[in-house]
Chains A and B, each alone.
Chain A
Amino acid sequence: MTLDLILPWTAVLPELALAFAAMVLLLVGAFGGDKSTNSVNIGAVFSLLVVAAIVWVLQNGMGVEGKLITPGGFHTASSFTSFMKLMILAAAALCLLIAPGYLVRKDISRPEYPVLVLFSVVGMMLMVSASNFLMLYVGLELQSLALYVLAAFRRDATRSSEAGLKYFVLGALASGLLLYGISLVYGFTGTLDFVRIAGVLTINEAHMGVTVGLAFILAALAFKVSAAPFHMWTPDVYEGAPTTVTAFFSVVPKLAAMGLLMNVLLVPFKPLAGDWELLVAGMAALSMIVGALGAIGQTNIKRLLAYSSIGHVGFALMALASNSPAGIEAVLLYLAFYVVMSIGAFSVVLLMRRDGRMLEEITDLAGISRLHPGMAAAMAVLMFSMAGIPPMVGFFTKLYVFVAALQADLLWLAVVGAIASVVGAYYYIRIIKVMYFDEPVAGFEQPPEPCLSTTLVATSMITLAGVVLLGPLSLLAKLATAGLLAP
């Protein structure tokens, strides 16, 4: 009897477990005060790993083509959502692991930090799994609200508060656009369910209203993944938010929003592919160009990485625009290694400290190849990889994207991407120039935190030798793609 009641809800089990863990940790934090920060942080990492294990077990239970759908069809678990969730959970855990040192230094080490991260992750998991626009909106807002607070987490610093406010105002605008789009789609199709919308759109020719609604939804989601021309907030928020939060922003919400975007475009709006392909391709081209050109003049490394992330989103969107299984696979692989490279790069930023201050200028890296050869080499590997230079893994993920784009006859987009990578290479190798060619100024504080340096070593090793991981990982991505496209 109870089993019958519970069984239909297994699809949402990971989310429930994580929400429960977050609430427990919130209580621990509330009663334990700032002293409990460390244990809450460890607990948060632990619960992320446990939830990842649950996702893994569930996935094994339902098989590749299998799907778990909650009653009412609000929430779907498939191999695609499992893949995305595992990436999100792993990335979030890494972001929590590299955070404590920085938070202590900035005097913002509070138990709320890991709890907010957990809540945003719950939101993201709901977003990825949503199979109904209402659920999508709920998930999106849950993660956004947590993220607004995180951006302003250093509340006594003007820059952080400004970042939070900016993010909130623009984020609210995007949410408004999203709701408006959803209401249009609802009005013209009569349903909010993804599968049913697809059904309606297949049978009837889409009304203009649906297309307009799709455009609104696409714009709102572009804001969330910071794709041009909706990227304006990114550099400011990245610069203003505490660095650990920026590291988190640059990967985890992007994963979720890209997962959501794929889910929305390929399930309910699959029949409208002709309409959105060009829009996505246009955004991809713009993002790659903006990412490449915008980064050139930057002197702050966080702003630079913001533009770099815009460029990388452009590449992921290029693969998505090709609207093929190979394209989806390319997006997944691209994102997986983007996470690794980005977290690695932010570990370097977090290691940049001198005389008790955190440094953020690119020139602060001058000559560190002489003082910290290991750190400089790791950063060089990451930068060459982001620039797409072989034999680093960044080249191979770009290769997948180009293959997908050319397969879909998107030659113009591939050429734009090729030129953008050359322009982008300029600013990546400029960082290497600063580290290797310039005269050293002064070293960074020693010894670095073990967690941070381990993360840096691990991410750079994966980046360097990632090509051997590509075979098995591309197999998993294939399965995930099959899960997304399965009826």
Chain B
Amino acid sequence: MSTWPLLSLLTFLPLIGALLMLFIRGTPEEVSRNCRNVALLFTGITFLLSLKVLFLFNQSAGGFQFNEYISIIPELFSYHLGVDAISLSLVVLTTFLMPIAIIASRHVTLRVREYLISFLLLETMMIGTFCALNTMLFYAFFEGVLIPMYVIIGIWGGQRRVYASFKFFLYTLLGSILMLLALIFMYLKTGTTDMTVLLQMAGTSSIFGLDVQKWLWLAFFASFAVKLPMWPVHTWLPDAHVEAPTAGSIILAGVLLKMGGYGLIRFSLPLLPEASQYFAPLVWTLSLVAIVYTSLVALVQEDMKKLIAYSSVAHMGFVTLALFSFNTYGLQAAMFQMISHGVVSGALFFCVGILYDRMHTRQIASYGGVVNVMPRFAVLFLFMTLASVGMPGTSGFVGEFLTFVGLFKATACASGTMNDQYVAMFSWAPTVAVIAATALVLGAAYMLWLYRKVMYGEIANADVAKLPDIDKGELLALLAMAAVVLWLGVHADALLDFLRSNLDYYNTLITDRSLCQVMTPPVMQP
């Protein structure tokens, strides 16, 4: 079994499913029914396969496993796949959310075949992004995501879908093309595009001087910040979310945003540690603004999807805050928060989608008293709302808690032998933590406010009174997500242990090197 190219199979299985759909014939009803079945089947098998990889994965051995390597263009471009704990956990997140996204699309009736093909293509691109170990291959997958997502928003979106799809496409393209230049520059300086080699180089000494690092870092940041998204380049997200179909939103919030975080962990931090240190105050500031400002903005939204979209920006702010606190807790927090947010926000968009499919409006004002007619839905929606707020016992709590631990840990580091600049910076960490903590209050405010307006009170109108409760498929999907959230909440160690060996290694790359070497006189290379 181990000789099978498992990762290639994982990556391209959805694509095979998509190609298979091209050959389905029959009446339109038959075609859409069969296509749905094929899509569900293939995403399901992909999920099972990813679990298989997860079980075969050797936790104690660090580094990348399941390597596959084919050289395509010598030096510049090779087909190199491999996963470590960081990427594997995101791969499993992706494969877990995909079948749910397919279930969430049952109300789509327009051009079902093309719709499902786009989603399966999207899955291939996303898994590929996380598995790619060649920088150019990574870029190819990273950028290839734009194509299916553009089509998904543009065809199956809402009123302003064309505007939103263009904004999404051009915004992300502008960010990533700067990253491409940075990747090429790194290739020219190091002579390799292989991630494993680059990480090895980074493990022994700084690859670039600080001046060069700064420019490279900014180019990477342009791409990842847009994807993440960080304030002030987040404006594409509410538009894209509001206009995307439900399943599109689930994937967008659940997986696509994680690509930005993944990029920061994989590229910016380990390869450009000094520049990451240098720009940490900037990242902290932007993250804080994102957390507080978008929370405030979420508070006044009248559109359910927009509200959750803004809350996503705030939650991703925690991720960047944690990442740039330069210690293992911070890294753990970022990874945990990403996985947790992937499931929770996916579930929330699913919940909103369930309401939208029945009422065809996302306006909060159109709802009220839904709990009376949809009790099963109400329970699960409440659970997800609380998870988003960060209630202890859910995964949301662990992510936020660890973020604060990371920040306070950063202060603790700030004593000792560090040079003045970083002492000064890290001495701000408690303040940063306090400001970020206010967002928890705001988060609770807007989420609970949303829940109260929509679910409680008098039954708002005749349409609400006629709402049917969720059916078996929706129940199953939401239950699965709730189980994951609960499991991660009470048994956070499972994920943290899984990530530990990798994150420790990254931590040495990022923290020890950058901080220690900056503070001690640099060692001259012979």
Contacts and interface: CB of A to CB of B under 8 A. Distances in A.
Interface in B144-161: 144, 146-147, 150-151, 154-155, 161
Contacts of B114: 369, 373
Interface string A388-432: 011100011001001100110001001100110110011001001
A399 B76 contact: yes
Contacts, number: 86
A384 B147 contact: yes
A471 interface: yes
B181 interface: yes
Contacts of A396: 73, 77
B246 interface: no
Interface in A431-487: 432-433, 436-437, 467-468, 470-471, 474
A404 to B, nearest CB: 10
Contacts of A467: 72, 77
Given A422-B170, A425-B173, A390 B143 contact: yes
A407 B155 contact: no
Interface in B172-208: 173-174, 177-178, 180-181, 184-185, 187-188
B140 interface: yes
A419 B170 CA distance: 11
A155 interface: no
B151 A403 contact: no
Interface string A222-251: 000000000000000000000000000000
Given A399-B180, A436-B155, A406 B143 contact: no
B177 A407 contact: no
B155 A418 contact: no
Contact of B154 (A407, A421, A433): A433
B248 to A, nearest CB: 14
B166 A390 contact: no
Interface string A248-281: 0000000000000000000000000000000000
A253 B86 CA distance: 52
A370 interface: yes
Q: Determine the interface band of chain B, counting residues with CB < 8 A from chain A.
A: 35 or more
B154 A414 contact: no
Contacts of B181: 402, 406, 411, 414-415, 418
B486 interface: no
Given A403-B187, A436-B151, A470-B72, A395 B173 contact: no
B147 A389 contact: yes
Contact of A402 (B151, B155, B162, B184): B184
Interface hub of A370, A426, A436 (most chain B Cβ within 10 A): A436
Interface hub of A432, A433, A471 (most chain B Cβ within 10 A): A433
A97 B326 CA distance: 63
B150 A406 contact: no
A72 B196 CA distance: 56
B72 A421 contact: no
B222 to A, nearest CB: 11
A263 B346 CA distance: 58
Given A467-B77, A470-B72, 6 more contacts: A406-B188, A414-B181, A418-B181, A422-B173, A425-B170, A426-B170
Interface of A: 369-370, 373, 384, 389-391, 395-396, 399, 402-403, 406-407, 411, 414-415, 418-419, 421-422, 425-426, 429, 432-433, 436-437, 467-468, 470-471, 474
